[in-house]
Structure 1
Protein backbone atom coordinates (compact mmCIF):
# COMPACT_ATOMS: atom_id res chain seq x y z
CA UNK A 1 0.00 0.00 0.00
CA UNK A 2 2.83 2.37 0.80
CA UNK A 3 4.33 1.81 -2.61
CA UNK A 4 0.99 2.49 -4.28
CA UNK A 5 0.59 5.70 -2.28
CA UNK A 6 4.05 6.80 -3.34
CA UNK A 7 3.27 6.08 -6.95
CA UNK A 8 0.04 7.98 -6.70
CA UNK A 9 1.56 10.98 -4.91
CA UNK A 10 4.47 11.36 -7.33
CA UNK A 11 2.29 12.28 -10.35
CA UNK A 12 0.43 14.80 -8.20
CA UNK A 13 3.69 16.57 -7.35
CA UNK A 14 4.74 16.42 -10.93
CA UNK A 15 1.38 17.70 -12.12
CA UNK A 16 1.35 20.36 -9.45
CA UNK A 17 4.88 21.39 -10.37
CA UNK A 18 4.18 21.26 -14.07
CA UNK A 19 0.97 23.26 -13.99
CA UNK A 20 2.59 26.65 -13.23
CA UNK A 21 5.08 26.24 -16.01
CA UNK A 22 2.64 26.39 -18.98
CA UNK A 23 0.63 29.16 -17.33
CA UNK A 24 3.58 31.48 -16.70
CA UNK A 25 5.43 30.91 -20.02
CA UNK A 26 2.67 32.23 -22.33
CA UNK A 27 2.26 35.28 -20.14
CA UNK A 28 5.94 36.22 -20.42
CA UNK A 29 5.98 35.55 -24.17
CA UNK A 30 2.91 37.74 -24.67
CA UNK A 31 4.48 40.55 -22.69
CA UNK A 32 7.69 40.32 -24.72
CA UNK A 33 5.75 40.32 -27.99
CA UNK A 34 3.70 43.33 -26.93
CA UNK A 35 6.88 45.21 -25.96
CA UNK A 36 8.50 44.40 -29.28
CA UNK A 37 5.34 45.36 -31.16
CA UNK A 38 5.29 48.71 -29.35
CA UNK A 39 8.93 49.40 -30.19
CA UNK A 40 8.73 48.44 -33.87
CA UNK A 41 6.27 51.19 -34.95
CA UNK A 42 8.42 53.84 -33.27
CA UNK A 43 11.54 52.47 -34.92
CA UNK A 44 9.81 52.36 -38.33
CA UNK A 45 8.62 55.91 -37.87
CA UNK A 46 12.15 57.10 -37.09
CA UNK A 47 13.49 55.25 -40.10
CA UNK A 48 10.85 56.78 -42.34
CA UNK A 49 11.64 60.27 -41.13
CA UNK A 50 15.33 59.74 -41.78
CA UNK A 51 14.65 58.14 -45.16
CA UNK A 52 12.54 61.06 -46.33
CA UNK A 53 15.26 63.51 -45.38
CA UNK A 54 17.99 61.62 -47.17
CA UNK A 55 15.79 60.91 -50.15
CA UNK A 56 15.01 64.60 -50.55
CA UNK A 57 18.69 65.53 -50.70
CA UNK A 58 19.44 62.73 -53.15
CA UNK A 59 16.60 63.83 -55.42
CA UNK A 60 17.86 67.39 -55.52
CA UNK A 61 21.39 66.26 -56.28
CA UNK A 62 20.12 63.98 -59.04
CA UNK A 63 18.30 66.87 -60.65
CA UNK A 64 21.53 68.86 -60.96
CA UNK A 65 23.32 65.87 -62.43
CA UNK A 66 20.70 65.43 -65.11
CA UNK A 67 20.92 69.10 -65.98
CA UNK A 68 24.69 69.02 -66.46
CA UNK A 69 24.54 65.82 -68.47
CA UNK A 70 22.20 67.50 -70.98
CA UNK A 71 25.08 69.17 -72.78
CA UNK A 72 26.04 65.94 -74.57
CA UNK A 73 22.53 65.63 -75.95
CA UNK A 74 22.68 69.01 -77.67
CA UNK A 75 25.85 68.50 -79.73
CA UNK A 76 23.90 68.91 -82.92
CA UNK A 77 20.37 68.71 -84.16
CA UNK A 78 17.56 70.24 -86.16
CA UNK A 79 14.85 72.31 -84.53
CA UNK A 80 12.06 74.40 -85.95
CA UNK A 81 12.01 78.14 -85.45
CA UNK A 82 8.98 80.10 -84.30
CA UNK A 83 8.22 80.82 -87.96
CA UNK A 84 8.25 77.11 -88.79
CA UNK A 85 11.70 77.24 -90.41
CA UNK A 86 13.95 74.26 -89.73
CA UNK A 87 17.29 75.30 -88.23
CA UNK A 88 20.51 73.42 -87.55
CA UNK A 89 21.93 73.94 -84.07
CA UNK A 90 25.54 73.07 -83.20
CA UNK A 91 26.96 73.25 -79.68
CA UNK A 92 30.57 74.34 -80.31
CA UNK A 93 31.98 74.81 -76.84
CA UNK A 94 30.89 74.77 -73.21
CA UNK A 95 32.97 76.08 -70.35
CA UNK A 96 32.61 76.12 -66.58
CA UNK A 97 32.98 79.64 -65.18
CA UNK A 98 32.95 81.09 -61.68
CA UNK A 99 32.08 84.42 -60.16
CA UNK A 100 33.65 85.52 -56.88
CA UNK A 101 31.14 87.02 -54.45
CA UNK A 102 31.16 87.95 -50.79
CA UNK A 103 30.29 84.47 -49.56
CA UNK A 104 32.65 82.60 -51.88
CA UNK A 105 32.35 81.56 -55.53
CA UNK A 106 29.33 80.98 -57.72
CA UNK A 107 29.85 78.43 -60.46
CA UNK A 108 28.03 78.50 -63.77
CA UNK A 109 28.39 77.48 -67.41
CA UNK A 110 29.07 79.38 -70.64
CA UNK A 111 27.89 77.93 -73.96
CA UNK A 112 28.84 78.80 -77.56
CA UNK A 113 26.25 77.79 -80.19
CA UNK A 114 26.12 78.09 -83.99
CA UNK A 115 22.73 78.15 -85.73
CA UNK A 116 22.03 77.97 -89.47
CA UNK A 117 19.33 77.00 -91.94
CA UNK A 118 21.61 75.06 -94.30
CA UNK A 119 20.69 77.43 -97.15
CA UNK A 120 23.13 80.31 -96.77
CA UNK A 121 22.19 81.80 -93.41
CA UNK A 122 24.21 81.31 -90.24
CA UNK A 123 24.74 82.97 -86.86
CA UNK A 124 26.49 82.38 -83.56
CA UNK A 125 25.79 83.33 -79.97
CA UNK A 126 26.94 82.66 -76.43
CA UNK A 127 25.15 82.62 -73.09
CA UNK A 128 25.87 82.09 -69.40
CA UNK A 129 23.68 80.50 -66.72
CA UNK A 130 23.84 78.42 -63.56
CA UNK A 131 22.74 75.28 -65.47
CA UNK A 132 23.83 73.93 -68.84
CA UNK A 133 20.41 73.72 -70.58
CA UNK A 134 19.59 77.31 -69.69
CA UNK A 135 22.97 78.52 -70.98
CA UNK A 136 22.41 76.66 -74.27
CA UNK A 137 18.96 78.19 -74.66
CA UNK A 138 20.35 81.69 -74.14
CA UNK A 139 23.13 81.09 -76.66
CA UNK A 140 20.69 79.68 -79.22
CA UNK A 141 18.35 82.66 -78.87
CA UNK A 142 21.29 85.06 -79.32
CA UNK A 143 22.49 83.16 -82.41
CA UNK A 144 19.06 83.34 -84.05
CA UNK A 145 19.01 87.13 -83.66
CA UNK A 146 22.42 87.59 -85.31
CA UNK A 147 22.05 85.38 -88.38
CA UNK A 148 23.68 86.71 -91.57
CA UNK A 149 23.37 85.67 -95.19
CA UNK A 150 26.45 84.46 -97.09
CA UNK A 151 26.70 84.29 -100.88
CA UNK A 152 27.33 80.70 -102.04
CA UNK A 153 28.41 79.43 -105.43
CA UNK A 154 26.02 76.82 -106.81
CA UNK A 155 24.71 76.46 -103.25
CA UNK A 156 27.65 74.24 -102.23
CA UNK A 157 30.87 76.29 -101.94
CA UNK A 158 32.30 79.82 -101.69
CA UNK A 159 32.69 82.16 -104.64
CA UNK A 160 36.35 82.98 -103.94
CA UNK A 161 39.14 82.59 -101.42
CA UNK A 162 39.26 84.79 -98.37
CA UNK A 163 40.91 85.55 -95.06
CA UNK A 164 39.42 86.44 -91.73
CA UNK A 165 40.88 87.79 -88.53
CA UNK A 166 39.68 88.59 -85.05
CA UNK A 167 42.19 89.32 -82.32
CA UNK A 168 44.78 86.55 -82.40
CA UNK A 169 42.53 84.27 -84.49
CA UNK A 170 43.38 84.01 -88.19
CA UNK A 171 41.68 81.74 -90.72
CA UNK A 172 41.96 81.10 -94.46
CA UNK A 173 39.01 79.84 -96.50
CA UNK A 174 39.10 78.58 -100.09
CA UNK A 175 36.49 77.42 -102.56
CA UNK A 176 36.74 73.80 -103.67
CA UNK A 177 35.41 71.63 -106.52
CA UNK A 178 32.52 69.24 -106.06
CA UNK A 179 33.32 66.18 -104.01
CA UNK A 180 35.96 67.80 -101.83
CA UNK A 181 33.85 67.91 -98.69
CA UNK A 182 34.30 70.11 -95.65
CA UNK A 183 37.97 70.17 -94.77
CA UNK A 184 37.79 72.01 -91.49
CA UNK A 185 38.06 71.17 -87.84
CA UNK A 186 36.58 72.23 -84.55
CA UNK A 187 34.44 75.37 -84.50
CA UNK A 188 34.93 76.10 -88.22
CA UNK A 189 33.32 72.81 -89.24
CA UNK A 190 30.21 73.64 -87.20
CA UNK A 191 29.90 76.97 -89.02
CA UNK A 192 30.10 75.48 -92.53
CA UNK A 193 27.78 72.57 -91.71
CA UNK A 194 25.15 74.98 -90.41
CA UNK A 195 25.68 77.29 -93.38
CA UNK A 196 25.03 74.52 -95.89
CA UNK A 197 28.47 74.47 -97.54
CA UNK A 198 29.38 71.07 -98.97
CA UNK A 199 32.87 71.75 -100.40
CA UNK A 200 35.41 74.03 -98.75
CA UNK A 201 39.05 74.00 -97.63
CA UNK A 202 39.99 75.96 -94.49
CA UNK A 203 43.02 76.49 -92.31
CA UNK A 204 43.39 78.15 -88.91
CA UNK A 205 46.82 79.76 -88.47
CA UNK A 206 46.22 81.73 -85.29
CA UNK A 207 44.63 81.24 -81.90
CA UNK A 208 42.77 78.03 -81.16
CA UNK A 209 40.32 79.84 -78.88
CA UNK A 210 36.88 78.79 -80.18
CA UNK A 211 35.43 82.27 -79.69
CA UNK A 212 38.20 83.91 -81.73
CA UNK A 213 38.04 81.21 -84.41
CA UNK A 214 34.28 81.63 -84.81
CA UNK A 215 34.52 85.41 -85.08
CA UNK A 216 37.43 85.17 -87.55
CA UNK A 217 35.45 82.71 -89.69
CA UNK A 218 32.46 85.05 -89.77
CA UNK A 219 34.77 87.91 -90.75
CA UNK A 220 35.95 85.88 -93.74
CA UNK A 221 32.40 84.91 -94.71
CA UNK A 222 31.09 88.46 -94.56
CA UNK A 223 33.81 89.53 -97.01
CA UNK A 224 32.48 87.11 -99.62
CA UNK A 225 30.97 88.77 -102.69
CA UNK A 226 29.08 87.25 -105.60
CA UNK A 227 29.21 88.28 -109.27
CA UNK A 228 25.60 89.39 -109.02
CA UNK A 229 26.27 91.86 -106.21
CA UNK A 230 29.39 93.22 -107.95
CA UNK A 231 27.49 93.69 -111.21
CA UNK A 232 24.70 95.54 -109.44
CA UNK A 233 27.16 97.77 -107.62
CA UNK A 234 29.05 98.65 -110.80
CA UNK A 235 26.00 98.90 -113.01
CA UNK A 236 27.08 96.18 -115.43
CA UNK A 237 25.91 92.77 -116.55
CA UNK A 238 27.12 89.56 -114.99
CA UNK A 239 28.23 88.25 -118.40
CA UNK A 240 30.52 91.27 -118.84
CA UNK A 241 32.31 90.49 -115.59
CA UNK A 242 32.64 86.76 -116.24
CA UNK A 243 33.85 87.30 -119.82
CA UNK A 244 36.97 89.17 -118.77
CA UNK A 245 38.87 86.01 -117.89
CA UNK A 246 39.30 85.05 -121.54
CA UNK A 247 36.04 83.09 -121.78
CA UNK A 248 33.87 83.38 -124.83
CA UNK A 249 30.63 85.32 -124.86
CA UNK A 250 28.55 82.14 -124.93
CA UNK A 251 30.41 80.68 -121.94
CA UNK A 252 30.10 83.94 -120.02
CA UNK A 253 26.38 84.10 -120.66
CA UNK A 254 25.95 80.45 -119.60
CA UNK A 255 27.90 81.08 -116.41
CA UNK A 256 25.91 84.22 -115.74
CA UNK A 257 22.64 82.31 -116.14
CA UNK A 258 23.88 79.70 -113.67
CA UNK A 259 24.63 82.32 -111.03
CA UNK A 260 21.83 82.20 -108.49
CA UNK A 261 23.15 84.68 -105.98
Structure 2
Protein backbone atom coordinates (compact mmCIF):
# COMPACT_ATOMS: atom_id res chain seq x y z
CA UNK A 1 0.00 0.00 0.00
CA UNK A 2 1.02 3.61 -0.57
CA UNK A 3 1.84 6.31 1.90
CA UNK A 4 -1.88 6.97 2.56
CA UNK A 5 -2.60 3.61 4.13
CA UNK A 6 -4.01 3.45 7.60
CA UNK A 7 -7.23 4.14 9.44
CA UNK A 8 -7.40 7.90 9.97
CA UNK A 9 -7.08 9.34 6.50
CA UNK A 10 -10.20 11.53 6.43
CA UNK A 11 -13.27 10.90 4.36
CA UNK A 12 -16.88 10.68 5.42
CA UNK A 13 -17.12 7.39 7.28
CA UNK A 14 -19.58 6.14 9.85
CA UNK A 15 -17.42 7.12 12.83
CA UNK A 16 -16.50 10.55 11.48
CA UNK A 17 -17.14 13.57 13.68
CA UNK A 18 -19.80 15.94 12.40
CA UNK A 19 -18.64 19.43 11.48
CA UNK A 20 -19.36 22.03 14.12
CA UNK A 21 -21.38 24.89 12.72
CA UNK A 22 -20.90 28.44 13.94
CA UNK A 23 -22.90 29.11 17.12
CA UNK A 24 -25.88 31.44 16.73
CA UNK A 25 -24.78 33.67 19.64
CA UNK A 26 -21.38 35.08 20.53
CA UNK A 27 -20.63 34.90 24.22
CA UNK A 28 -18.28 36.65 26.60
CA UNK A 29 -17.55 35.74 30.19
CA UNK A 30 -17.71 38.91 32.30
CA UNK A 31 -17.02 37.44 35.72
CA UNK A 32 -16.08 34.05 37.16
CA UNK A 33 -15.78 33.77 40.93
CA UNK A 34 -15.34 31.09 43.54
CA UNK A 35 -17.99 31.64 46.19
CA UNK A 36 -18.36 29.90 49.55
CA UNK A 37 -21.29 28.67 51.61
CA UNK A 38 -20.50 28.07 55.27
CA UNK A 39 -21.75 24.72 56.56
CA UNK A 40 -21.33 22.94 59.89
CA UNK A 41 -18.27 21.05 58.62
CA UNK A 42 -16.61 24.08 57.02
CA UNK A 43 -16.86 26.05 53.81
CA UNK A 44 -18.44 24.58 50.71
CA UNK A 45 -17.14 26.15 47.50
CA UNK A 46 -18.93 26.67 44.20
CA UNK A 47 -18.35 28.85 41.14
CA UNK A 48 -20.45 31.77 39.92
CA UNK A 49 -20.31 32.70 36.24
CA UNK A 50 -21.67 35.88 34.67
CA UNK A 51 -22.03 35.57 30.91
CA UNK A 52 -23.29 37.94 28.21
CA UNK A 53 -24.50 36.60 24.87
CA UNK A 54 -25.55 38.40 21.71
CA UNK A 55 -25.89 38.01 17.96
CA UNK A 56 -24.34 41.43 17.12
CA UNK A 57 -27.56 42.28 15.27
CA UNK A 58 -29.57 43.81 18.10
CA UNK A 59 -30.15 40.88 20.48
CA UNK A 60 -28.39 40.59 23.84
CA UNK A 61 -28.90 38.78 27.15
CA UNK A 62 -27.16 38.33 30.50
CA UNK A 63 -27.07 35.17 32.59
CA UNK A 64 -25.64 34.46 36.04
CA UNK A 65 -25.43 30.96 37.45
CA UNK A 66 -23.61 28.86 40.02
CA UNK A 67 -22.19 25.37 39.69
CA UNK A 68 -19.83 22.95 41.40
CA UNK A 69 -17.44 23.30 38.45
CA UNK A 70 -16.60 26.27 36.21
CA UNK A 71 -17.84 24.48 33.07
CA UNK A 72 -21.18 23.67 34.72
CA UNK A 73 -21.59 27.28 35.92
CA UNK A 74 -20.78 28.68 32.44
CA UNK A 75 -23.21 26.26 30.76
CA UNK A 76 -26.01 27.18 33.19
CA UNK A 77 -25.29 30.89 32.72
CA UNK A 78 -25.51 30.48 28.92
CA UNK A 79 -28.92 28.81 29.23
CA UNK A 80 -30.16 31.58 31.53
CA UNK A 81 -28.81 34.28 29.19
CA UNK A 82 -30.66 32.68 26.27
CA UNK A 83 -33.92 32.96 28.23
CA UNK A 84 -33.21 36.62 29.01
CA UNK A 85 -32.54 37.71 25.39
CA UNK A 86 -34.19 40.93 24.23
CA UNK A 87 -33.95 43.16 21.16
CA UNK A 88 -32.22 46.55 21.28
CA UNK A 89 -33.52 49.19 18.84
CA UNK A 90 -30.66 50.36 16.62
CA UNK A 91 -30.48 53.24 14.16
CA UNK A 92 -29.01 52.89 10.66
CA UNK A 93 -25.71 54.33 12.01
CA UNK A 94 -25.45 51.41 14.44
CA UNK A 95 -26.17 53.44 17.56
CA UNK A 96 -29.03 53.86 20.05
CA UNK A 97 -31.90 56.25 19.20
CA UNK A 98 -31.52 58.55 22.24
CA UNK A 99 -29.63 59.12 25.49
CA UNK A 100 -30.57 56.85 28.38
CA UNK A 101 -29.41 56.44 31.98
CA UNK A 102 -29.95 53.56 34.40
CA UNK A 103 -29.24 52.45 37.93
CA UNK A 104 -28.82 48.93 39.27
CA UNK A 105 -27.84 48.40 42.92
CA UNK A 106 -24.86 50.74 43.49
CA UNK A 107 -24.09 51.20 39.82
CA UNK A 108 -25.21 54.20 37.75
CA UNK A 109 -24.42 54.77 34.09
CA UNK A 110 -25.21 56.92 31.10
CA UNK A 111 -25.40 55.80 27.46
CA UNK A 112 -25.32 58.38 24.67
CA UNK A 113 -25.67 57.85 20.91
CA UNK A 114 -22.56 58.64 18.85
CA UNK A 115 -21.96 59.59 15.21
CA UNK A 116 -20.93 56.94 12.70
CA UNK A 117 -17.25 56.07 12.90
CA UNK A 118 -16.79 56.91 16.60
CA UNK A 119 -16.85 53.31 17.80
CA UNK A 120 -17.70 52.03 21.27
CA UNK A 121 -16.36 54.55 23.77
CA UNK A 122 -17.05 52.71 27.00
CA UNK A 123 -15.13 50.56 29.40
CA UNK A 124 -15.47 47.20 31.07
CA UNK A 125 -18.81 45.39 31.03
CA UNK A 126 -20.53 48.31 29.23
CA UNK A 127 -18.26 47.79 26.22
CA UNK A 128 -18.87 44.03 26.19
CA UNK A 129 -22.68 44.39 26.35
CA UNK A 130 -22.74 47.05 23.60
CA UNK A 131 -20.42 45.03 21.36
CA UNK A 132 -22.48 41.83 21.66
CA UNK A 133 -25.71 43.80 21.13
CA UNK A 134 -24.37 45.03 17.78
CA UNK A 135 -24.06 48.68 18.79
CA UNK A 136 -21.12 50.08 16.80
CA UNK A 137 -21.19 53.76 17.82
CA UNK A 138 -21.95 54.70 21.42
CA UNK A 139 -20.56 56.64 24.36
CA UNK A 140 -20.97 55.00 27.75
CA UNK A 141 -20.01 56.42 31.12
CA UNK A 142 -20.17 54.69 34.49
CA UNK A 143 -21.12 57.57 36.79
CA UNK A 144 -20.89 55.70 40.10
CA UNK A 145 -17.71 54.55 41.82
CA UNK A 146 -18.86 50.93 41.62
CA UNK A 147 -16.30 48.52 40.19
CA UNK A 148 -18.65 45.55 40.48
CA UNK A 149 -18.70 44.00 36.99
CA UNK A 150 -22.00 42.19 37.54
CA UNK A 151 -23.86 45.33 38.68
CA UNK A 152 -22.36 47.45 35.87
CA UNK A 153 -23.39 44.83 33.28
CA UNK A 154 -26.91 44.64 34.74
CA UNK A 155 -27.18 48.44 34.74
CA UNK A 156 -26.22 48.45 31.04
CA UNK A 157 -28.85 45.79 30.30
CA UNK A 158 -31.43 47.85 32.25
CA UNK A 159 -30.57 50.96 30.21
CA UNK A 160 -30.91 49.08 26.92
CA UNK A 161 -34.22 47.56 28.07
CA UNK A 162 -35.54 51.09 28.66
CA UNK A 163 -34.91 51.74 24.96
CA UNK A 164 -36.72 48.55 23.97
CA UNK A 165 -39.91 49.44 25.87
Q: Do the structures match in fold with TM over 0.5?
A: yes
Please, which of 49, 70, 81 is the counterpart of residue 143 of structure 1? 81
Aligned partners of 1:157 and 1:184: how far apart in 2?
13
- Higher helix fraction (1 or 2): 1
Does structure 1 residue 97 correspond to structure 2 residue 29? no
Q: 1:223 corresponds to which residue? A: 162
User: 1:152 deviation in Å?
Assistant: 0.4
Does structure 1 residue 189 correspond to structure 2 residue 107? no
Relative contact order, CA 8 A, sep 6+: which one is greater? 2
**Contact 1:170–1:204 under 8 Å retained in 2:** yes
Residues 121-167 of structure 1: CA distance to partner in whole angstroms, max 9, x if unpaired? 10001111111111100101100001011100116111111101112
User: 1:98 deviation in Å?
Assistant: 0.8
Q: 1:159 corresponds to which residue? A: 97
- Give the TM-score normalised by structure 2: 0.82
**Contact 2:48–2:66 under 8 Å retained in 1:** yes
**Contact 2:93–2:115 under 8 Å retained in 1:** no
Does structure 1 residue 175 correspond to structure 2 residue 113? yes
User: 1:96 deviation in Å?
Assistant: 1.0
SS at match of 2:90: coil
Kindly report the root-mean-square deviation, in angstroms, between the aligned alpha carbons of the 2 structures: 1.6
Q: Where does structure 2 lack aligned partners over 5 or more consecutive residues? A: 1-20
- Give the TM-score normalised by structure 1: 0.53
SS at match of 1:138: helix
Corresponding residue pairs, total: 144
